[in-house]
Amino acid sequence: MPVQLTFAAPRRAKPPRHLADLTAAERRDAVVALGERPFRADQLSRHYFQRLEDDPAAMTDLPAAVRDRLVAELLPPLLTPVRELSCDDGMTRKTLWKAFDGTFIESVLMRYPDRVTMCVSSQAGCGMNCPFCATGQAGLTRNLSAAEIVEQVVAGARALMRAGLRPRVSNVVFMGMGEPLANYTAVIGAVRRIVEPGPAGLGISQRSVTVSTVGLVPAIERLAAEGLQVRLAVSLHAPDDDLRDELVPVNTRWKVGEVLEAAWAFARTTTRRVSIEYALIRDINDQAWRADLLGRLLKGHLVHVNLIPLNPTPGSKWTASRPADEREFARRLAAYGVPVTVRDTRGREIDGACGQLAAATTRTNATTS
Ligand code: SAH
């Protein structure tokens, strides 16, 4: 049976317009269209991106009458927290959010000694149907707007601020729910807001933003031409088309060879090392011969491999590789001169960042309604 892939998001009501959907120039136009002076746009931007303010009453540099209108028009609430889960002594914190239309998405804030990484969702659900991924099982609900993506990062910084910590997210990874390159325009808009210096944006370094993809070749080519210094991560998971057709069904459209060609072209254009994501699944993709095949494909390229022990989804027939097989896989790649690390399993106890919390909530709703 042919696998169903969904590229076009279903038609649904659009999230309300928000300042973070707009460029700085568009914000000024929007403010003028509301009958206000253009500098009000910069005031609003400063509150949102720099002061992380979400209480209109605290925006005292805006006259009260003007404030209510501008906030209603340009800073509407987008996401409401539904559940918070922490682990790793509070260093990892996952939030389940409800959007304006009742859809669920999730984000994960990970604190490390030297950095803070925010893992964001780019879509509610996902249309790529990878059988080992919890998000893939539920299908695509809708694309997120640029502002809904940015808001996850702002909320992370705000949570740090409220905890009395330095309110600074240093890294953003598009590894939550969704296929970012299938929601291209909103994702690029969000990346621009994330990297633009304040007050126009959050001022996070381009090099600290990672866009992770199943390998949508035309979109990788488009991303390379954006003139951004973001990192590209390719979820490969298999070096051969036979297995990858099954693990990452979009491979039936763009084969391993084509995806890697696009990745190398990206590396040449941006001079950035490409990350290859490889979830190690016991006795499925973790054989020594597959490590050798992968090593031969990647050898000599500007690349880094992230091995991720599979986080099994509920009811999955698959599980993580044996530690000895994992070590051997990494050893063989290294023998080809390919840099390789085993990804830490932050947040595993709280269902990682693989759509499992939102999926669990949807399941609970389905059985109780
Ligand atoms: N759609 C994008 C980004 C979201 S997933 C992509 O596929 O790259 C982020 C990463 O988590 C991807 O590499 C994905 O393959 C991986 N992943 C998904 N489910 C997983 C699981 N159950 N265990 C380990 N990694 C998983």
Q: What is the 3-state secondary structure (H, E, C) of the chain?
A: CCCCCCCCCCCCCCCCCCHHHCCHHHHHHHHHHCCCCCHHHHHHHHHHHHCCCCCHHHCCCCCHHHHHHHHHHHCCCCEEEEEEEEEHHHCEEEEEEEECCCCEEEEEEEECCCCEEEECCCEEECCCCCCCCHHHHHCEEEECCHHHHHHHHHHHHHHHHHCCCCCCCCEEEECCCCCHHHHHHHHHHHHHHHHCCCCCCCCCCHHHEEEEECCCHHHHHHHHCCCCCCEEEEECCCCCHHHHHHHCHHHHCCCHHHHHHHHHHHHHHHCCCEEEEEEEECCCCCCHHHHHHHHHHHCCCCEEEEEEECCCCCCCCCCECCHHHHHHHHHHHHHCCCCEEECCCCCHHHCCCCCHHHHHHHHHHHHHC
Find the largest Cα–Cα distance for the chain. 69
CA dihedral 312, 297, 302, 326 (to 10 degrees): 30
106 is catalytic: yes
Give the distance (Å) from ligand 1 centre to CA of residue 32: 43
| CA 175 / ligand 1 centre spacing (Å) | 7
For residue 199, whether the previous peptide bond is cis, meaning omega lies within 30 degrees of 0, is yes
Whole-angstrom distance, CA of residue 54 vs CA of residue 47: 8
Question: Can you tell me the distance from the alpha carbon of 5 to that of 136, in angstroms, rounded to the nearest whole number?
Answer: 10
To the nearest 10 degrees (0 to 180), the angle between helices 288-298 and 256-270 is: 40
Measured CA distances, 287 to 132, 240, 292, 324, 327 (Å): 18, 12, 9, 11, 11
Dist. CA 175–CA 113, nearest whole Å: 21
Rounded to the nearest angstrom, the distance between the alpha carbon of 277 and the centre of ligand 1 is 8
- List pocket residues of ligand 1, CB cut-off 6 Å: 128, 132-133, 175, 179, 212-214, 235, 277, 279, 308, 310-311, 313, 354
Question: Against a cut of 0.85, is the pTM above it?
Answer: yes
The domains located in the chain, with CATH, are 19-74 (1.10.150.530), 79-368 (3.20.20.70)
pLDDT value of position 129: 95
Length of the chain: 369
Q: Atom of ligand 1 at shortest distance to CA of 213?
A: 8
Select from 235, 341, 350 the residue to mutate for testing ligand 1; criterion: most ligand atoms less than 8 Å from CB.
Answer: 235
Q: Which phi and psi angles does 91 have, rounded to 5°?
A: -75, -20
Q: Kindly state the tokens that stand for 231.
A: 């990192």
Cβ atoms of 167 and 153 within 8 Å: the answer is no
Q: Residue whose CA is closest, atom 12 of ligand 1?
A: 235
Of the residues 119, 126, 130, 354, only one is catalytic, namely 354
Structure-token pair, residue 132: 């080992």
Of 36, 53, 106, 277, catalytic: 106
Token digits for 311?
Answer: 């986080």
Rounded to an integer, what distance in angstroms lies between the CA atom of residue 237 and that of residue 218? 20
Cα 53–Cα 106–Cα 263 angle in degrees, nearest 5: 105
Query: How high is the pLDDT of residue 369?
Result: 24
- Separation of CA 52 and ligand 1 centre (Å): 30
Chain Cα centroid distance, residue 15 = 19
- pLDDT tens per residue across all 369 residues of the chain: 556 788 888 777 899 999 999 999 999 999 999 999 999 999 999 999 999 999 999 999 999 989 999 999 999 999 999 999 988 888 999 999 999 999 999 999 999 999 999 999 999 999 999 999 988 888 999 999 999 999 999 999 999 999 999 999 999 999 999 999 999 999 999 999 999 999 999 999 999 999 999 999 999 999 999 999 999 999 999 999 999 999 999 999 999 999 999 999 999 999 999 999 999 999 999 999 999 999 999 999 999 999 999 998 888 899 999 999 999 999 999 999 999 999 866 666 565 544 455 555 444 333 222
The reported pLDDT for the residue numbered 367 is: 29
